[in-house]
């Protein structure tokens, strides 16, 4: 299983950066996980978007799905030009309902609602969604193939159940938008890097990669806090690839 980080910032990108988007590939199957601002452009450095097999969205905040609203125009043109013949399967939480209802567009997407605990099979990828703690329904994904286990936290506050969900993962890609000072002030909806590292340690994951970086902060602060609990932590970098 190959993971390519397309975008890793939130809730907005720095100059030249992108919001959340991750490309998973195995056995000629191309799965896009989240599609935030800038991801469509960055994707095309690695893969023709018309060759995507499916997209899954952790939740319907714009920094995780806004480029879905742009990709649909390209998909429509690809149908007209005979470059694609079937709608692109798109999976997302059904809430907020107003956002979910905006996803279908002509024949660009075949939209389905994600249900927590309901396993989804996309090519070689066996995907188990789990709802986290966020301002709107947000899914974590445990994705298994014959080559390994990848777990993505989505956006979430601290949730002890995430420890079991991430148990034994070969790579745990975990959001860490906050520092401990933010948690101490009561900031909601996201994890600190220290919390992400504590979850990784309790889950016994092999590798921890922090993502959903704050666009105006130094990543070294996040890594320093996380290393107290999980020394081998790293930060997601746009364009970086991992073999799982």
Rg of the Cα trace of the chain? 17
Percent of the chain at pLDDT exceeding 70: 100
Region 192-220 average pLDDT: 98
pLDDT, tens digit (0-9, with 9 covering 90-100), for 196-206: 999 999 999 99
Tell me the pLDDT band of 36, cut-offs 50, 70 and 90. Answer: very high
CB count within 10 Å of CB 1 equals 23
Coil, strand, or helix at residue 23? strand
The confidence score (pLDDT) of residue 161 equals: 95
Query: Region 38-55: what's the mean pLDDT?
Result: 97
**Quick one: pLDDT at residue 73?**
97
Q: pLDDT tens digits for 77-121?
A: 999 999 998 999 999 999 999 999 999 998 899 999 999 999 999
HEC sequence for 69-90: HHHHHHHHHHHHCCCCCCCEEE
What phi, psi does 209 have (nearest 5°)? -125, 120
* Per-residue model confidence (pLDDT) at position 107: 87
Question: How large is the average pLDDT for residues 118-138?
Answer: 98
Q: Per-domain residue ranges for the chain?
A: 2-243
Residue 210 to residues 17, 99, 237, Cα–Cα distance (Å): 16, 27, 9
Task: For residue 58, give the nearest of 27, 36, 28 by alpha carbon.
Answer: 36
Query: Residue 243 forms beta bridges with which residues?
Result: 2
- In CATH terms, the fold of domain 2-243 is Metallo-beta-lactamase; Chain A (3.60.15)
């Amino acid at each position: 299983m190959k993971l390519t980080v397309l975008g890793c910032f939130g809730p907005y990108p720095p100059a030249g950066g992108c919001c959340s988007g991750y490309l998973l590939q195995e056995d000629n199957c191309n799965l896009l996980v989240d599609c935030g601002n800038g991801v469509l452009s960055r994707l095309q450095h690695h893969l023709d978007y018309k060759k995507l097999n499916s997209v899954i969205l952790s939740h319907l905040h714009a920094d995780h799905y806004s480029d879905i609203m742009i990709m649909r125009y390209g998909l429509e043109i690809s149908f007209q030009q005979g470059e694609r013949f079937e709608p692109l399967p798109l999976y997302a939480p059904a809430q907020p309902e107003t956002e979910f209802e905006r996803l279908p567009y002509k024949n660009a997407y075949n939209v389905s609602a994600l249900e927590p605990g309901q396993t989804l099979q996309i090519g070689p990828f066996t995907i188990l969604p789990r709802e986290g703690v966020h301002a709107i329904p947000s899914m974590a994904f445990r994705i298994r193939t014959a080559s390994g286990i990848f777990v993505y936290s989505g956006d979430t506050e601290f949730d002890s159940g995430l420890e079991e969900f991430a148990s034994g993962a070969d790579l745990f890609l975990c959001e860490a938008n906050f520092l401990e000072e933010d948690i101490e002030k009561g900031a909601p909806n996201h994890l600190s890097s220290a919390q992400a590292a504590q979850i990784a340690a309790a889950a016994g994951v092999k590798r921890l990669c922090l993502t959903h970086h704050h666009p105006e902060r130094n990543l070294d602060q996040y890594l320093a806090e996380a290393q107290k609990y999980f020394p081998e932590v790293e930060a997601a970098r746009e364009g970086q690839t991992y073999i799982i």
